[in-house]
Amino acid sequence: MGALADQAIATLLLTLRMVPTLAFAPPFTLVRVPAGVRVLLSIALAGWLVAGAAGATWRSDAAHDGVIVAAAGELLLGIGLALSLQFAFAALLTVGRALDIQAGFGLAALVDPTTRSQLPLAGTVFAYAAGAVFFLGDGPVRLLAIWAASVQAVPLGGGMVAGDIGPALAHLSGGFVIACALGGAIMLALFMVDLAIAFMSRTLPQMNVLLLGFQVKTLVMLALLPAAIAAGGTVFVRLLDAALLAAPDLVAVR
């Protein structure tokens, strides 16, 4: 009975390490799955990893402080692991918002029913494209490998996020640079359209610059956005690869 109880507690602790990513981090939040289903999936995956990992019990340096302290540490560690994916998709949404403002789509916004927040139109398209790349590639397998490696590197109940914010800042800045490569061509094209309309307004003062600008930039945006996504497959893969590689560094898991 003691071994069974230890395995149950270990499953609970590992669930707390995994559930922030599955319940609150993209691309899992992009799929309209109830939160309860994602929590049950976390419990099932945690039980599977605990059963397959040798020595994956909750006995650790923090065990003498009680299950509550151990659970708090595991939840903190799970949030740290989820930040890598959050940063990657935040970079895509930020670049998409910049494109929306440039194209005039900033007047409209999508409301995400999961977070109850307004999302940029182009950023939402980028996020769903990145989510498709994540699930069609080896993203889920690599994420499971990160959780399995964290069980061996950080004993259950001894979760702690690294105090050094250097890896987080490096990943955040690198993610924004990669995301800008995805929307840079569209932003340059929209800027050139703005210049052309500005020169035309000097020769045709009676022209409605605002109305013409919205129409032309909308057509340019609709023409270049699918092309950027089709040609940016490597960019999506590199961004997600950087996020998965940075996840262990954010919590000092080796």
Residue 61 has pLDDT above 60, yes or no: no
Nearest CA to 146 among 27, 2, 254? 254
Instruction: Please state the rounded mean pLDDT for residues 1-14.
Output: 73
Instruction: Please state the rounded mean pLDDT for residues 1-8.
Output: 66
Residue 50 has pLDDT above 70, yes or no: yes
Summarised one tens digit per residue, pLDDT across range 205-231 is 766 766 677 788 888 888 888 888 888
Residue 66 has pLDDT above 80, yes or no: no
pLDDT of the residue at 147: 83
Q: Are 89 and 117 in contact (CB under 8 A)?
A: no
Cα torsion angle, 35, 40, 43, 45, sign: negative
pLDDT of the residue at 1: 44
The answer to whether the predicted template modeling score (pTM) of the entire model surpasses 0.85 is: no
Q: Are 167 and 245 in contact (CB under 8 A)?
A: no
Summarised one tens digit per residue, pLDDT across range 117-169 is 677 788 888 888 998 889 888 888 888 888 888 777 777 766 555 556 666 77
